[in-house]
């Protein structure tokens, strides 16, 4: 059956109605021969996916970077897990809880491309990366390298480690429009000294959406004997890569971002040879030094969220990472290409597909980001994230796979009309 007939039979062309997980799989089957780039432009297909999301009609959500809401197909499964755990109570907690979490972590390792022995489920990126920053055996005078554009929570943790252990933090500033990978690699290299032990780098900078050449940075740092910790909050399940291919030492991400898992789930990857080096945030009973479960003591926590991760992975696998990446890339290019050359508009995200994907940041010359955010919301009902710091002044625009061209056209119209506000 072709896609059009399928959608007609499912009553979806022009009507509303949500496909179940199996029907989405059948729909995707009808387009299996279509290239991800071509499918990215197929509004009928993505409209069928959109039907699965309960979207607030009061505003257009261009702030999917904080939290990717769940499609109803996953939300329903999650609610089912909440009910089931509540039904079984302590019996569940004392019997299959840990085995279930382990199986889910194995499934996650499958999409991360790593060994299950190198990955644990945490609550979020902050917990994952702060465990590494706080858990290394720092000595006074040791140095760490990071960027002004890194996420605040990790920078704060490095400041604490600096006060506590006398670590020296060297902070670089990443340009919004680098001329080459070498420019970025050399920037990080310039901050390394004989005392540097750890380099933190964002895979995708959260305020601009710029993707950094992480593999090249890892290679450079390793040649100098420096370990690399990657902040993958925005890269995991957003575009295609495998964690081992980055050859980093540590990698953290939040699953409530691009994997659309219920709030409060993350991953920490630790390359096997580094596991024994890290002191856990919360102590676990005696384990072998290289057993990653040493780092995974949490106390009692929302176990139904762990279970829903498996459903979110099913949904993600049905759509397929290539299709998802292509759709997000298409949406970003659609709007940025129409405003990038307007004289009053400042695009803070590179156009190069190797350096960006779904997220981009836009400013208006002479206008504070907060004011731009206010105008977009009050006049156009467009919700964004204004950013005013670390050399970036503009609103972060984060569509999701369900975003429509019509919604982006409104953003383009708004940004075009804002010329008057500046003239």
248 sits in the region (left: phi over 0; alpha: psi -120 to 50; else beta) called beta
If the CB atoms of residues 234 and 294 are measured against ligand PLP, the closer one turns out to be 234
If the CB atoms of residues 39 and 308 are measured against ligand PLP, the closer one turns out to be 308
Question: Can you tell me the distance from the alpha carbon of 263 to that of 255, in angstroms, rounded to the nearest whole number?
Answer: 8
Chain-centroid distance of CA 22 in Å reads: 26
If the CB atoms of residues 68 and 126 are measured against ligand PLP, the closer one turns out to be 126
If the CB atoms of residues 142 and 231 are measured against ligand PLP, the closer one turns out to be 231
If the CB atoms of residues 24 and 202 are measured against ligand PLP, the closer one turns out to be 202
Question: Can you tell me the distance from the alpha carbon of 3 to that of 21, in angstroms, rounded to the nearest whole number?
Answer: 16
Q: Are strands 382-383 and 196-202 parallel, antiparallel or unpaired?
A: unpaired
| Least distance in angstroms from the C-beta of 208 to ligand PLP | 11
Least Cα distance to 176 among 405, 17, 24, 340 occurs for 340
If the CB atoms of residues 66 and 91 are measured against ligand PLP, the closer one turns out to be 66
Beta bridge partners of 171: 146
List, in order, residues 6 or more apart from 82 with CB less than 8 Å away. 304
| Least distance in angstroms from the C-beta of 124 to ligand PLP | 3
Q: Which contiguous run of DSSP H or E holds residue 157?
A: helix 152-165
If the CB atoms of residues 18 and 211 are measured against ligand PLP, the closer one turns out to be 211
> In 10 A of CB 172, how many CB atoms?
18
| Least distance in angstroms from the C-beta of 264 to ligand PLP | 8
Question: Can you tell me the distance from the alpha carbon of 395 to that of 234, in angstroms, rounded to the nearest whole number?
Answer: 17
| Least distance in angstroms from the C-beta of 261 to ligand PLP | 11
| Least distance in angstroms from the C-beta of 66 to ligand PLP | 6
| Least distance in angstroms from the C-beta of 363 to ligand PLP | 19
267 sits in the region (left: phi over 0; alpha: psi -120 to 50; else beta) called beta
- Cα distances (Å, whole numbers) of residue 158 to 103, 162, 308: 33, 6, 32
Which positions lie near ligand PLP, rule CB under 6 A? 66, 124-126, 151, 153, 202, 206, 231, 233-234, 254
Q: What is the CA radius of gyration of the chain?
A: 22
| Least distance in angstroms from the C-beta of 291 to ligand PLP | 25
| Least distance in angstroms from the C-beta of 142 to ligand PLP | 23
Question: Can you tell me the distance from the alpha carbon of 46 to that of 36, in angstroms, rounded to the nearest whole number?
Answer: 12
If the CB atoms of residues 198 and 233 are measured against ligand PLP, the closer one turns out to be 233
CB half-sphere exposure, 286, CA atoms < 13 A: 0
């Amino acid at each position: 059956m072709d896609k059009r007939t399928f959608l007609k039979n499912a009553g979806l062309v022009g009507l509303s109605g949500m496909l179940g997980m199996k029907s989405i799989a059948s729909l995707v089957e009808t387009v299996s021969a279509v290239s991800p780039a071509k499918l990215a432009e197929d509004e009928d297909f993505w409209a069928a996916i959109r039907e699965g999301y309960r979207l607030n009609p009061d505003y257009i959500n261009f702030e999917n970077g904080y939290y990717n809401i769940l499609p109803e197909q996953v939300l329903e499964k999650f609610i089912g897990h909440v009910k089931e755990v509540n039904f079984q109570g302590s019996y569940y907690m004392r019997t299959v809880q840990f085995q279930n979490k382990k199986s889910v972590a194995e499934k996650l390792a499958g999409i991360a491309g790593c060994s299950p022995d190198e990955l644990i489920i945490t609550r979020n990126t902050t917990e994952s990366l702060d465990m590494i920053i706080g858990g290394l055996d720092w000595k006074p005078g040791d140095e760490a390298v990071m960027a002004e554009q890194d996420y605040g929570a990790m920078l704060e943790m490095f400041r604490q480690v600096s006060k506590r252990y006398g670590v020296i933090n060297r902070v670089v500033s990443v340009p919004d429009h680098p001329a080459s990978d070498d420019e970025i690699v050399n920037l990080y290299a310039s901050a390394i000294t004989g005392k540097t032990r750890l380099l933190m780098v964002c895979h995708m900078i959260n305020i601009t959406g710029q993707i950094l050449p992480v593999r090249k940075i890892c290679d450079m740092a390793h040649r100098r004997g420096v370990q690399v910790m990657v902040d993958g909050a925005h890269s995991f399940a957003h575009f295609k890569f495998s964690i081992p291919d980055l050859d980093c030492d540590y990698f953290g991400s939040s699953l409530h971002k691009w994997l659309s898992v219920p709030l409060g789930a993350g991953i920490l990857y630790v390359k096997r040879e580094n596991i024994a080096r890290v002191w856990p945030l919360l102590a676990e009973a005696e384990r072998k030094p290289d057993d990653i479960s040493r780092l995974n003591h949490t106390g009692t926590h929302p176990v139904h969220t762990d279970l829903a991760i498996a459903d979110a992975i099913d949904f993600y696998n049905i759509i397929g990472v290539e299709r998802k990446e292509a759709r997000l890339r298409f949406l970003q290019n659609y709007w940025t290409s129409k405003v990038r050359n307007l004289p009053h508009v400042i695009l803070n995200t590179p156009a190069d597909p190797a350096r960006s994907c779904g997220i981009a940041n836009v400013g208006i010359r002479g206008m504070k980001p907060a004011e731009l955010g206010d105008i977009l919301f009050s006049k156009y009902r467009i919700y964004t994230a204004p950013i005013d710091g670390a050399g970036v002044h503009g609103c972060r625009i984060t569509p999701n796979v369900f975003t429509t061209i019509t919604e982006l056209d409104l953003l383009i119209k708004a940004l075009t009309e804002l010329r008057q506000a500046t003239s």
